[in-house]
Amino acid sequence: MALTTHHPPPVPPGPARNRTGRHAGARRRRRRRATALLYVLPALLPYTLFAVLPALHTAYLSLFDWDGVTLPSFTGFANYRKVFSDPQLRAAAWHAGALVLFFSALPIFIGLVSAAIAARRSGRRGTAAVRTLLFLPQVVPLVAVAIIWRWVYAEDGTLNQLLRAVGLGRFADSWLGSFTWSLPAVGLIGTWVVAGLCMVLFLSGTQRIDQEIYEAARMDGAGPVREFWSITVPLLRPEIAVALSITVIAALSSFDLIYITTGGGPGNSTVVPGILIYRLAFGGGQVGLASALAVVLTAVISIAVLVINRLAREAP
Amino acid sequence: MSHSRPRPPAYLPRRLFLAAAGTTLLAACGSSLTPGAKSAASPSASGPAATAIPTDKKITLVVADADDTTMTPALLAAFHAKHPNITFKRQYTGWDDYLKSINTTMSADTAPDIAQFVSGMNNLVKGRLLLDVGAYSTAYGWPDRFPGLDQITFTADGRTTGTGALYGVPGGLSFEGVYYNKAKVKKLGITVPPASIAELEAMFAKAKAAGETALVAGNLDGGLNHPFNVLLSVYMKPADRQAWAFGHKGAKITGAEAVAAAATLKRWMDKGYMTPKVNGVSDNDATAAFAKGTGVFRISGNWAAAAVAKGLGDNAGLFNAPPADKGGTLHTTGAGVYYCVSGNTKNAAAAAAFLEFCASAEAAPIIAESGFMAPDASSMPQQSGLIGDVGSGWQAIAKDSGLEPFIQNASTPTMPDTLTTQLQLLAGGKVGVEKFLANLQSNFDQYHA
């Protein structure tokens, strides 16, 4: 019994522990911790002030019925009950789920394929140029992206001109104004923005993979498809987890793209939680309800990211 | 042996401590974090008001506005020129951000003295952050000098417009009319203005037959509210129309007259008079297209006059929306750039003097130059071209007292979003006319229950 509990505490990194002077060690540890804190402080301070405290305040506000000006009334969890019973919100949740396909699944697939192709062609000319080109959407502010795509999708926009030019004019539509196509249309803008980021992420990942593994596989007769599924995808697991985390957050918290392109319309066909929060808080004067919705959204996103990271850590 | 003792999980208490500290912190600043706590200190409605403008001391008035035309700065400059001891500090905010931040701006200790009132600010009335200017109104005689004052009177809870205390005055006013392309109308052999909605519709039919887009519109952001508001003004009795827009209890928008208005709009779409796939075009893009020469008619407000005149030049014209039947009085939709006074201002008399200045003959040309209609319509300079059409259109509306409020501005805080959504559903064929109106009514009833 005594033996099993007799685990020496893990040796801290740095200079060896002084077994004779426990107190001195503790003091040094404390001082080291203080030093560490000092390093973190410049980041921690603004983070606490501008992210943690406002978030806590939002959680606090979610317990009130408040119009933004007059005295609020404490309503406990009534706002949360409303959040879960609102049919409009259910629609918004579905749309956010659909956006995960466009913001995460599709770009990650595109990124993986393009990274695999690039890996096979590594060292050849033009890779850097292609990489820069595909990463470009990441650099442009989302609002600008949204305005550009509004023109692309317009009735006489680039997309329809293209369709008409190749004789597919009968398929031309007013994409953002269509009840059927508006959600996929804004989703594809997301795909376009995020795919480049995923590709760059995966490219740096493939550079980490030993080329000999590929060579060995090729000697064993593996084709590009086999190589992709058996080497590239499994070995890029950490990068895929990062990409998935970033893109799922982007999908679930999407606001600016949709606000500028469709504003949630036509009808409610592209309404997402972010749009509802904005409408409730700044248009509808229902700050408490908007806060409750924001808290729920934050919780959902946090859980999603936790699950992704847990799954990624498990060995294949 | 002491070191065989399991190490206390040092992280757990610390985390607990942080949580406890956070909660304590929240509780400690509870009073200051409690939203709206400050607004409990209420400014009382003013007593008898002095119209004497202080001349002996230097006064600085802070003005918050979202007016992106030249009107507000020009009015401030003209007032300062007249009263050199009163200077202004203007805090301009873009339209979208203005409404987002105005609640906090007005509840701050450093609230501006004068603020532009826009729809959605009604909570400030309930929060008693705006000055009841009723006493100044009586002293200056504002009801005779400003049209549309009912649009800025509110009940104490801020929910109902058109009754209760007065909270401001309009600087410039806006109204909706029918723009037309003179060259195309001439080519089509159409004589404007039409005397009734039926005549207007016949003009649309003629334009469509000639292969034109008769009515240029965009509904990506709910721009169909312009023709819809105008049709409601034309068809509904003014009292019913205002009662609904002003949020009067029991008001209905589901009656036969409102159905006639919505059905007319729907018919224009169904007959192909309107821009096709209207849900995919933004309102601004529709104005731009019309200004570039697309289509024959466009229903919009005088704020679009500058853009249309720039694009179409001498071919730009405007007439008032005709009455439903020949010989009726004119009715259209419009609003104003309203200025209100903070309940916490220390210079109420000076601020009220600026409001009074907006009705003056000196202000009229300044307002007209910025594309708005002056409260004192008779003092507006005669102008030619499209701006001239806008001016004479306004005078005819003012003569018939035909200015009706936008239904989305006052009825409920969520009505702008609801109206946009429902108009898109109507245009997309997802709801019929009656269901469309019932959905608007349902939003109204939820708020005014």
Query: Do B424 and A266 make contact, defined as CB atoms within 8 angstroms?
Result: yes
Residues of chain B contacting A266 with CB distance shorter than 8 Å: 219-220, 279, 424-425, 427-428
Compute how many other C-beta atoms are within 10 angstroms of the C-beta atom of residue A315. 4
Identify whether the C-beta of residue A245 lies closer than 8 Å to the C-beta of residue A309: yes
- pLDDT of B165 strictly over 50: yes
Q: Which of B11, B104, B220, B274 to mutate to test the interface with A (most CBs of A within 10 A)?
A: B220
Residues of A in contact with B33 (CB under 8 A): 57, 60
The predicted model gives B389-406 an average pLDDT of 88
pLDDT tens digits along B239-248: 999 999 999 9
Q: What is the pTM of this model?
A: 0.82
Please tell me if residue A259 touches chain B, with a CB cutoff of 8 Å.
Answer: no
When scoring B417, B420, B426, B448 by the number of chain A Cβ atoms within 10 A, the one with the most, hence best to mutate, is B417
pLDDT at B34: 55
Average pLDDT for residues B350-376, to the nearest whole number? 90
* Chain B touched by A72 (CB under 8 Å): yes
* ipTM of this complex prediction, to 2 decimal places: 0.78
Q: Which residue has the higher pLDDT, B186 or B401?
A: B186
Tell me the pLDDT band of B56, cut-offs 50, 70 and 90. Answer: confident
Residue B96 has what pLDDT?
66
Nearest Cα to A295, choosing from A43, A41, A60, A35?
A60
Measured between beta carbons, which residues in chain B are less than 8 angstroms from residue A177?
219-220, 277-281, 424, 428
Rg (CA), chain A: 26
Mean pLDDT for the stretch of residues B351-359: 95
Residue B423: pLDDT above 90?
A: yes
Closest CA of chain A from B70, distance in Å: 27
Quickly tell me which residue has 């005149």 as its tokens.
B309
- Flag whether residue A185 sits within 8 Å of chain B, measured between CB atoms: no
B-chain CB neighbours of A8 within 8 Å are 3
Q: How far apart are CA B403 and CA B392, in angstroms?
A: 14
Residues of B in contact with A153 (CB under 8 A): 280
Q: For residue B336, give the nearest of B188, B158, B146, B104 by alpha carbon.
A: B146
Does B416 sit within 8 Å of A64, measured CB to CB? no
Residue A282 and residue B107: Cβ atoms within 8 Å? no
Exposure b/e, B316-325, CB count within 10 A at least 16 = b: bbbbbbbbbe
CB contact under 8 A, B33 and A57: yes
pLDDT for B38 beyond 60 = no
A82 close to B (CB below 8 A): no
The percentage of residues in chain A with a pLDDT greater than 90, rounded to a whole number, is: 49
pLDDT for the residue A124:
65
Give per-residue pLDDT as tens, B182-223: 999 999 999 999 999 999 999 999 999 999 999 999 999 899
A149 CB within 8 Å of a chain B CB: no
Alpha-carbon gap, residue B297 to B207, rounded angstroms: 9
Give pairs for A173-176: CB < 8 Å, separation 24+: A173/B277, A173/B280, A174/B276, A174/B277, A174/B279, A174/B280, A174/B281, A175/B280, A176/A150, A176/A261, A176/A262, A176/B220, A176/B280
- Whether A150 has its CB under 8 Å from any CB of chain B: the answer is yes
- d(CA B32, nearest CA chain A) in Å: 11
Q: Are A267 and B424 in contact (CB under 8 A)?
A: yes
Distance from CA of A35 to the nearest CA of B (A): 18
Residues of B in contact with A55 (CB under 8 A): none
Torsion of CA B286, B289, B291, B294, to 10 degrees: -120
Among A258, A252, A243, which residue's Cα sits nearest to residue A145? Answer: A258
Tell me the shortest Cα–Cα distance from B318 to chain A, in angstroms: 27
Distance to chain A for B194, nearest Cα, Å: 31
Chain B contact for A37, CB < 8 A? no
Give the distance from CA B318 to its chain's centroid. 21
Q: Which residue of B has its CA nearest to A259?
A: B221
Which residues on chain B are in Cβ contact (under 8 Å) with A60? Answer: 26, 33
Work out the pLDDT band at B48, boundaries 50, 70, 90. Answer: low
CB contact under 8 A, A155 and B281: yes
User: Using the 8-state DSSP alphabet, how is residue B3 labeled?
Assistant: G
pLDDT digits (tens, 9 = 90+) for B243-264: 999 999 899 999 999 999 999 9
Among A70, A176, A265, select the one facing B420 at the smallest CB separation: A265
Which amino acid, one-letter code, is at A100? V
Of B33, B37, B427, the CB nearest to A71: B37
Mutation target among B3, B129, B159, B424 for the A interface, most CBs of A within 10 A: B424
- A-chain residues within 8 Å CB-CB of B107? 69
The residues, ordered by sequence, that sit 6+ positions from A149 with a Cβ below 8 Å of its Cβ are A189, A192, A261
* CA distance linking residue B111 with residue B115, whole number of Å: 9
DSSP state letter for A67: -
Interface test with B, best of A70, A150, A179 (most B CBs within 10 A): A70
Q: What is the pLDDT of residues B299-339, one digit of tens each?
A: 999 888 888 999 999 999 999 999 999 999 999 999 888 99
pLDDT for the residue numbered B41: 42
pLDDT interval class at B12 (50, 70, 90): very low
CA–CA separation, B392 and B395 (whole Å):
5
- Does residue B49 have a pLDDT over 90? no
Closest-CA residue of A relative to B278 is A177
pLDDT given at position B33: 55
The pLDDT of residue B13 is 46
Interatomic CA distance for residues B39 and B130, integer angstroms: 11
Inter-chain CB proximity A285 and B123 less than 8 Å: yes
In angstroms, the separation between the Cα of residue B122 and the nearest Cα of chain A is 10
Residues in chain A with pLDDT values less than 50: 1-6, 8-9, 11-18
CA distance, residue A171 to nearest chain B CA (Å) = 14
Tell me: pLDDT of B16 over 70. Answer: no
The verdict on a CB contact (< 8 Å) between A6 and B4 is yes
Pick the closest to residue B279 from B235, B218, B322, B231 (CA basis): B218
Does residue B107 register a pLDDT over 90?
Answer: no
pLDDT value of residue A123: 62
